[in-house]
Amino acid sequence: MEQSIQQKIDHWLKSDIDQDLKSQIEKLMSNGNNDELVDSFYRDLEFGTGGLRGVMGPGTNRMNKYTIGMATQGLANYLKQNFDDQEIKVAIAHDSRNNSRKFAEITANVFSGNGFKVYLFEDLRPTPELSFAIREFGCQSGVVLTASHNPKEYNGYKAYWDDGAQVIAPHDKNIIAEVNKITDFNQVKFEGNPDLIIPIGKDVDNKYLDQIKSLSLNEEAIKSNSEMKIVYSPLHGTGITLVPEILERFGFKSVHIVEEQAKPDGDFPTVVYPNPEESEALSMGLNKAKEIDADLLMATDPDSDRVGIAVKNHNNEWQLLNGNQTGALLIYYVLQAYKEKNGFEGNEFIVKTIVTTELIKDIADGFGVQSYDTLTGFKHIAALIRKLEGKEKYLVGGEESYGYLIGDAVRDKDAIASCALIAEMTAWAKSKNKSLFDLLLEIYKEFGHYNEYLFSLTKKGKSGAEEISKMMEDMRMKAPDSLGGIKVTKVSDYLTQQATDLASGDTTSIDLPKSNVLQFFLADGSKVSARPSGTEPKIKFYISVKKDLAEISEFDNSLDSLNQKAEKIKKDLGL
């Protein structure tokens, strides 16, 4: 074992740390489990741009009392620098993962030990409610303990700023710098001040749910379809606390919970991954939906910021919708219903990320509503909402990874509100004798038939990272003339912040932060995005293909054609 790793182990064993963590280290040593020991101590768990995420256990590369304490102390020190002339308040929430409550209480103790007023949720709550609480109590920051849809061994720590959004530049890098200055456990104020920790619960729930209820755009459609059958699964997460209640408040009377997945459980016993993007995670829900002949199936991830849905398709078979399809449906519905209820004033806008389907932009254009693109990650959508606050009116936005936000009272993706509005949208379609899939086909006919595919290429080790870097460099040096036999007309390079028209050679600047992403726009409206992961030896290719759909009856043939087009593009990319 390397000397530096052994020194870290010795330091932990000699320090005044909790006996249970010491015992876990000693057990690893006595078992001769060197691989696990090395992985636990070979590096420090990094406080990244959104916070911490890692496997739970003892060591510098694990989620535990001390890594969380040091991260919180660093964040506290940065907050003192930025808000030294006022009382500092923070809000804290946690999901259903193992140790999440314990980690939330440690975080509360460190903040209160620094003299901050702490609003700590009394029990598990959805991540979007944490965002709401930050704004409700006028907090300068907030933290939620969650690892989203990661396996059960993981936990995480997400940091928020005073607008209720995850931290962005320059705060993210500045917080990281402060966290890295904490070199010893003794620098962390673990001894909390109970007088400064205020438990919060049902009162905040009610305000949050009232805000969501105010988003309703079609009460009549719900009244006429209040007995519509909805199946819902929280996948052992926080959604059970509020999704059934908001559906009841909206007026839905036939909500069927997947009971095997209703109880919050950090072991996620019925799924491999608690991820609503995975068909396996929704299999129990699908069985129940078929059993009762439901109209809609919805499932939320453990911290309830993302939602996956399934509906019956044109062949009366249950089909999972991807994030692009659900996002397009939701944005179409909100714009259509908003237009009918309020009419547009001309200053409204919607937002999507650059790798999300262009169908959403086409829909917004069709309604005469401004659409904006941001970099991948919902914090960028929130940053744009903040930038335009008081000038333009945000209505709805989303990203391909199953995250959506209606209204701006919350500044993170919100599966609680999304479930309510998706159910309302289903009732609205049903009042017109349509299913959600019927509505999706009508959207394809009006705006173009899009289909999206995500391919990931993993290249392990140092050589793999170099290979991925070379792939991006080669594509930058010489963009492909065509992909799948279709001419490439424009290349957008988010690292150089330049978009190039390949026919004229003209360039225009991209008004977004630098990011290692390349996009190729094709003559038929298709789009290919290449994006290396910042945390894994992986590169992702987002392939979005498009064609006109003259008649809905031609959908199956059109889908076959799009699948073939995507395969040709994939082959040209060497995937």
- Residues identified as active-site: 148
User: How long, in residues, is the chain?
Assistant: 575
Residue from 232, 258, 236, 235 nearest 245 by CA: 232
Residue reference for tokens 């500092």: 88
Buried b (16+ CB within 10 A) or exposed e, 26-45: eebeeeeeeeebbbbbeeeb
How many Cβ atoms sit within 10 Å of the Cβ of residue 163?
A: 17
311 in Cβ contact with 319 (< 8 Å): yes
Q: How far is CA 405 from CA 145, 268, 269, 274, 415, in A?
A: 21, 26, 29, 21, 8
Q: What does the alpha-carbon distance between residue 331 and residue 353 come to, in Å, rounded to a whole number?
A: 14
HEC letters along 135-146: HHCCCCEEEEEC
Sign of the CA dihedral running 448, 383, 453, 230: negative
Q: What does the alpha-carbon distance between residue 402 and residue 327 come to, in Å, rounded to a whole number?
A: 8
529 in Cβ contact with 355 (< 8 Å): yes
CA 512-513-516 angle, to 5 degrees, is 105
Residue 432 neighbours by CB under 8 Å, 6+ apart? none
Helix 202-213 × helix 415-431 angle, to 10°: 40
Radius of gyration, CA atoms only, the chain: 24
3-class secondary structure, 121: strand
Token pair belonging to 315: 């062949």
Distance of CA 79 to the CA centre of its chain: 25
364 in Cβ contact with 371 (< 8 Å): yes
Residue reference for tokens 């000699």: 14
3-class secondary structure, 89: strand
Token pair belonging to 23: 């015992």
Q: What is the dihedral of CA 435, 437, 440, 446, to 10 degrees?
A: -70
Q: Determine the residue type at 451.
A: N
Token pair belonging to 393: 């009116």
